[in-house]
Amino acid sequence: MNPESPLLIFDGECSFCRRWVDFWRKLTGDSVDYAAYQSGAAEAHRIPLDEARARVQYLAGNGRFQGAAAVFELLSRIRAYAWLAWAYRRVPGFAAISEAIYSLVAAHRDAANRFTRLLWGKSVEPPSYAISTAIFARAIAAIYAIAFASFGMQVRGLIGSDGILPAGDFLGAVRASYGSGVFWKLPTLFWWAHSDFTLLSIAWGGFTIALVTAISRRPEGGYAKVAFALLWFYYLSLVMVGQVFMSYQWDLLLLEAGFLTIFLRAAWTRVWLFQWLIFRLMLESGLVKLQSGDPAWRNLTALAYHYQTQPLPTPLAWYMFKLPLDFQKASTIFTFVVELGLPFLMFGPRRLKQIAAFGTILLQSLIFLTGNYTFFNLLAIALSLFLLDDAFWLRLFRKPAPARPVVTNVNRYVSASLFVLIMFLSTTELMAMFGTVPRPVRRVTDAFAPFGIVNGYGLFAVMTTTRPEIEIEGSSDGTNWEPYTFRYKAGPLNRAPSWIEPFQPRLDWQMWFAALGSYRENPWFLRFILKLLEGSKPVVALMDRDPFFGAAPVYIRAQIYEYRFTTFEERRKTGNWWRRELRGTYLPQVSLKH
C-alpha cells in the first residue's frame, strides 16, 4: 500500500460493499488503495469505528470524505464518471439527494446486494463492448453489401438513362433550381458523372468494398474506417439520386448507422451513440403510432390487419392473419411494450440492457418472418448488439477477454465532437415530434439534413386496413387486354407471397404506395407507364411477365382491385392464396398516339 495514494476504507464484512469495491478497483487500478476497516485502517487514520462501519471513508490529500461524497470523489479520478463529482459539488440538491439515497442503501445492505446481483449479475464489471463492436462491424459491412447489390440489380430500370426516373434528368432539374452550391443541397458523386456505367460502378463498387470488409480479419480495425467512409458516401450518393425509389426509412437508418461506423471504436462514448440510435429508432416507432390517433392502434386491432395489408407479406403472414383477435391484440400490446417501454431499459444496468436487447431482437425477428422489409430488421438487430457487453459474450463462448482499446487525446476529441454533433441534431429531431423548433436551430439542422447523419423514424404510424392493388394492362388494339405481372407484389391469385428479404424490389414496393392514392399523386407512375409504352428494356426487365415479349403495347390502362387473403376453405378448394374484387379504374386508357 502506497502511503501517498488515496485510500478508500470500507466494511469488509459487507457483501454489497465488497461487490462495489471490486468494481471500483477495476476502474482505478493501482491509483487508489482499498482497505477494510477491520484490518486496522480506520484506527490508523484515527477514524471512529462506528463511522467507518456506517459509511465508506475516502482519504485523499489532506481531506477526508464519507458516504456519497467519498464515492463521487473516488469516481472523479475516472473520466467517464467525473461528471458525477462535478454534479455533487455544483448542482443544487444533487448532494442532498445522493446522501439520502446512500443512507437508505446503507441501512438495507442485504437487500441492496440482492438487487445489485439481480441487475448486474454475480459481479459488477466495467462495461466493455469490444466483441459487440467487432460483430457489428462485420454485420453492417454485410448489410451494405446486400443494399448495394439489391439496388445494383435494379438501378438501370429505376434511375438509368432509359429508366423510370433518370438520374441525369433529376440532377439537371435540381441544378436549375439551386444553381451554385448545389452539392450541399444534394451531396452525391453523380454531379461529376451520371451515366449508366457510373451508376452501376458505384453500386457494384460499393458491394465489392462491403464484401471485402465483411470477410476481412478485423473489420473494426483502423484501415476499415476508410472503407466505411467510402461505403457511406457511395450509399449517400445513390440515395440522393434514387428519388422515390431510395426514400425508405431503412435507407436513412443505414446512412445514420453507417456514418457512426466510420468512427467505430469500443469506447464508451461511441458505443453509447449506437445505443442512442437504437433507442430513438424503437421509441420513435412507438410514439408515431400514438401521435397519429389511428383507431387501429388505439383499440389494439392494428395487427389484425397488418399481415394482410403490409406491402410484401411472406407465406407465414397468411397463417398469422388467421390467428384469433385476442392474439392479435396481445401482439399489439407486445409491440407497444417493446417500442415504448424497453427503450428506457437500454440505459440501465447490464441485465436491463439485455432484456431490452432480447425484446427488440424478438420483435424484429417476428417482423422479418412475416414481412419482407429488406435489410431493415437485420440492421435493427445488429444495432441491438451494442446492448450486450463483453461479459455476456465471454460467458456465452468462454473466450479470453479482449484487450481494452488504447484511448488517446485525439480519440477523446473526436468522441467529444461526434457526441456533441449527434446529440444536438438528434435531440432537435426528437423535440420536433412534440412541437416547433426555434428557427435558428432549425437552420443548423437543415444544413446537415441532406447528409443523413440523423433522421426521424416511425413505420406504420397509420395502419392500412385494406389492400388495394394496381394491375397494369396493355393492348395492341384497345379491345384485348393482357396484364403485366410484377415479380413479387400481390398479383396472380394462386401465387404464394414470396420470401425475398433482404433483397428489396423497389418498384413493387412503390406500387404498394401508389395504390393508396391516385396516379395524380404519384407522378413517377406516369413515367413508368410512359416507359412501358416506349418498350424500355431496362424497365420491362423489372417485371415478371411481359405480355408483349419485348414489343411495345399501343395502349395501356390500370385497374385497381381490392385483395384479401383466402380462407382455409377457399385455399383448399382453389389453391389460391388471394381473392380480389375490382374497385374501378386507376388510370384510363392511354397511348403514345393520342
pLDDT surpasses 90 at 181:
no
Distance CA 260, CA 20 (A): 33
pLDDT surpasses 80 at 85:
yes
Q: Give alpha helix (H) positions in 29-66.
A: 41-44, 49-54
| Three cell numbers, residue 84 | 458525477
pLDDT surpasses 70 at 2:
no
Angle, to 10 degrees, between the axis of helix 249-262 and the axis of helix 376-384? 40
Angle, to 10 degrees, between the axis of helix 224-242 and the axis of helix 249-262? 150
Residue 502: is the preceding peptide bond cis (ω within 30°)? yes
Output the CA angle 229-235-240, nearest 5 degrees.
Answer: 125
Residues 6+ apart with CB under 8 A from 303: 328, 329, 331, 332, 335
Model pLDDT, residue 397: 80
**Residues of the chain above pLDDT 90, percent:** 80
Average pLDDT over residues 349-355: 95
Average pLDDT over residues 255-275: 94
Average pLDDT over residues 567-587: 96
- Beta bridge partners of residue 482, listed in sequence order: 474
Distance CA 20, CA 28 (A): 12
Closest CA to 214 of 310, 287, 146: 146
| Three cell numbers, residue 392 | 455476456
**Residue 297, exposed/middle/buried by CB under 10 A (0-12, 13-18, 19+)?**
buried
Amino acid at 290: L
Confidence of residue 5 (pLDDT cuts 50, 70, 90): confident
| Three cell numbers, residue 363 | 420483435
pLDDT surpasses 60 at 204:
yes
Model pLDDT, residue 260: 96
Amino acid at 182: V
User: Residue written as cell 412501358?
Assistant: 532
Confidence of residue 459 (pLDDT cuts 50, 70, 90): confident
Q: pTM for the full model?
A: 0.93
Closest CA to 537 of 152, 154, 157: 157
Which helix (H) or strand (E) element contains residue 185? helix 182-185
Closest CA to 372 of 327, 333, 319, 315: 315
| Three cell numbers, residue 253 | 437508418
Confidence of residue 301 (pLDDT cuts 50, 70, 90): very high
Average pLDDT over residues 393-401: 77
Model pLDDT, residue 235: 97
Confidence of residue 401 (pLDDT cuts 50, 70, 90): low
pLDDT, one tens digit per residue, over 14-45 is 999 999 999 999 888 889 999 999 999 999 88
Q: What DSSP designation does 312 have?
A: S
Model pLDDT, residue 594: 65
pLDDT surpasses 60 at 463:
yes
3-state helix, strand, coil in the chain (%, to 5): 60, 10, 30
Please give the full DSSP string across 107-167, using - where no structure is assigned.
HTHHHHHHHHHHHH-SS------HHHHHHHHHHHHHHHHHHHHHHHTTHHHHHSTTSSS-H
- 8 A C-beta contact, residue 347 and residue 108: no
Confidence of residue 278 (pLDDT cuts 50, 70, 90): very high
What are residue 472's phi and psi, to 5 degrees? -95, 130
Which string of b and e fits 362-389 if b means at least 16 CB within 10 Å?
ebbebbbebbbbbbbbbbbbbbbbbbbb
Model pLDDT, residue 549: 85
Confidence of residue 1 (pLDDT cuts 50, 70, 90): low
**Residue 399, exposed/middle/buried by CB under 10 A (0-12, 13-18, 19+)?**
exposed
Under DSSP, is residue 575 helix (H, G, I), strand (E, B) or coil? coil
pLDDT, one tens digit per residue, over 475-495 is 999 899 999 999 999 999 999
Strand order across the 7-10 sheet: 33-36, 7-10, 57-60, 63-66
**Residue 409, exposed/middle/buried by CB under 10 A (0-12, 13-18, 19+)?**
exposed
- 8 A C-beta contact, residue 97 and residue 112: no
Model pLDDT, residue 400: 67
Distance CA 266, CA 220 (A): 9
Under DSSP, is residue 307 helix (H, G, I), strand (E, B) or coil? helix
Model pLDDT, residue 403: 67
pLDDT surpasses 70 at 12:
yes
Distance CA 275, CA 270 (A): 9
Amino acid at 352: L
Give the dihedral sign, CA 427/433/434/436: positive
Distance CA 541, CA 194 (A): 21
The residue count for the chain: 594
Closest CA to 317 of 482, 501, 458: 501
Amino acid at 302: A
- The pLDDT mean for the chain works out to 93
Distance CA 493, CA 577 (A): 6
- 8 A C-beta contact, residue 385 and residue 352: no
- 8 A C-beta contact, residue 391 and residue 350: yes
Confidence of residue 275 (pLDDT cuts 50, 70, 90): very high
Give the dihedral sign, CA 431/377/252/536: negative
Closest CA to 313 of 391, 385, 240, 371: 371
Confidence of residue 87 (pLDDT cuts 50, 70, 90): very high
